[in-house]
Structure 1
Amino acid sequence: MVSELEKLKHGDWYYFLDPEVAARKARAARLCQEFNSISAAEADKQEMKIREILGSSGENVSVQAPFNCDYGKNIHVGDNFLSNYNLTVLDIAEVRIGDHVMIGPNVNIFTVTHPLDAKKRREYLAKAVPVSIGNDVWIGGSATVLPGVHVGDNVIIAAGAVVTKDVPSDCIVAGVPARVIKSL
């Protein structure tokens, strides 16, 4: 029999209240709480804790508390990564973020989705769909990136945008849903 974690890893529908899935979230919640309780004056301690949370991270990584995630180990950030306050990453699936990425305050990155059918939602099903964000990307405050989105290189996501589809390189996207408003 296939475990719920195996279903999750393969991108199949899985039961999100499964004890193994819940244990990942509980671990992430504990580590995020520890990170968020470290004083900003203790930058070295903050950096050590965020590196413990993340799956991998490059050089010069700066994450402002509070930070929250679903797992942590599925988040991979490159060199010169900066996120402002209140970044939430629901990283049930992998989230890959390139080099020289800046993320504004109150940004959400989601990899989890649920069935459209109400009866299926009552079964507590979810599906994990990876997100990737290229190099030299700036995500403005209160933007949201939805499951399965690929953001190219040299992209600006305007404040408040909701990114529902892939974004090509070298552009600015804005709006709900986000659309290309300018080429760079």
Structure 2
Amino acid sequence: MTSGEIDHELVKYVRSTLKNLPETVEYDKMISSIPYDCYDKELHMRRNLAHEVVLDYANVRLKDFDFDLEKHRKARVEYLSNVFGKIEDDIHLEPPFFVDYGFNTIIGKHFYGNFNLTLLDCCVITIGDNVMVAPNVTLTTATHPTDPQLRLQGVEYSQPITIGNNVWIGSDAVILPGVVVGDGAVIAAGAVVTKSVEAYTVVAGVPAKVINRLKPIET
């Protein structure tokens, strides 16, 4: 268990940027990457509600919009706007997907997420523009103390994840707490990313390592 203080600048930023946030000290501690009580009543309630809401996303059915693809797309976007902290209106996310809270996730323009995306967003997850995510990908900000007694007490902490622009994440990849993925990077299928990834590189393996370097496209 580490000591630390609430990051008031971060708290101010998220409260001015994201929606539907809890007004609790434990939330402020959670996003500040310091130990917090994961069984705090408000956090526990919001987590469970989020789990149910995302399951119902699959009920936004094309047949209920007279098979009008555009109406159906807009209804999905509206639904997702009540799940995530901030999204753009061109998001495309396949059901099912899973979140811890949802409101700690920021998603940029032209995002595509395939089936079974899992976002454990105890800390803020920031996803840039033009990001493509294959099936069964996990982004987890959550971690736990190594001391079993602290785990039994419900002590938990988390670290943010940032995904840059123009990133492609392959099937079954796992991105762990504190990782920053640079612009234009590719995460190979099955990779477990434990450390930050340089821009315009391809990483693969467990743990993920650089296997190729890419030339940025000139714009």
The TM-score, its normalising length taken from structure 2, stands at 0.79
Secondary structure at 1:53's aligned position in 2? coil
Inter-partner Cα distance in structure 2 for 1:58 and 1:135:
14
1:150 aligned partner: 180
> How much does 1:34 deviate?
1.9
1:127 to 140, 143, 157: 157
**Partner amino acid, structure 2, of 1:76:** I
- Judged with a 3 Å threshold, the aligned counterparts in structure 2 of structure 1 residues 40 and 126 are, in CA distance, closer, same or farther, namely farther
**Partner amino acid, structure 1, of 2:196:** D
Larger radius of gyration: 2
Inter-partner Cα distance in structure 2 for 1:40 and 1:108:
27
- Calculate percent identity across the aligned residue pairs: 39
1:179 aligned partner: 209
1:29 aligned partner: 51
Consecutive unaligned residues of structure 2, counting only runs of 5 or more, are 1-23, 64-71, 215-219
Query: Is the Cα–Cα contact under 8 Å of residues 77 and 89 in structure 2 kept in the other structure?
Result: no
Query: Is the Cα–Cα contact under 8 Å of residues 68 and 86 in structure 1 kept in the other structure?
Result: yes
Inter-partner Cα distance in structure 1 for 2:142 and 2:58:
23
> How much does 1:8 deviate?
1.3
1:46 aligned partner: 76
Is 1:86 aligned to 2:116, yes or no? Answer: yes
> How much does 1:23 deviate?
1.6
> How much does 1:158 deviate?
0.3
**Partner amino acid, structure 1, of 2:39:** L
> How much does 1:40 deviate?
5.3
Secondary structure at 1:56's aligned position in 2? coil
The 5 Å alignment of 1:99-114 reads: 99-114=129-144
Consecutive unaligned residues of structure 1, counting only runs of 5 or more, are none
**Partner amino acid, structure 2, of 1:24:** R
Inter-partner Cα distance in structure 2 for 1:56 and 1:114:
27
Query: Is the Cα–Cα contact under 8 Å of residues 111 and 129 in structure 1 kept in the other structure?
Result: yes
Query: Is the Cα–Cα contact under 8 Å of residues 193 and 207 in structure 2 kept in the other structure?
Result: yes
- Judged with a 3 Å threshold, the aligned counterparts in structure 2 of structure 1 residues 57 and 3 are, in CA distance, closer, same or farther, namely closer
The TM-score, its normalising length taken from structure 1, stands at 0.94
4+ residue segments displaced more than 4 Å = none
Supply the RMSD in Å over aligned alpha carbons.
Answer: 1.4
Inter-partner Cα distance in structure 2 for 1:40 and 1:171:
38
Deviations 1:89-134 (A, max 9, x none): 0001100000000000000000110011222211111102110000
User: More strand by proportion, 1 or 2?
Assistant: 1
Secondary structure at 2:50's aligned position in 1? helix
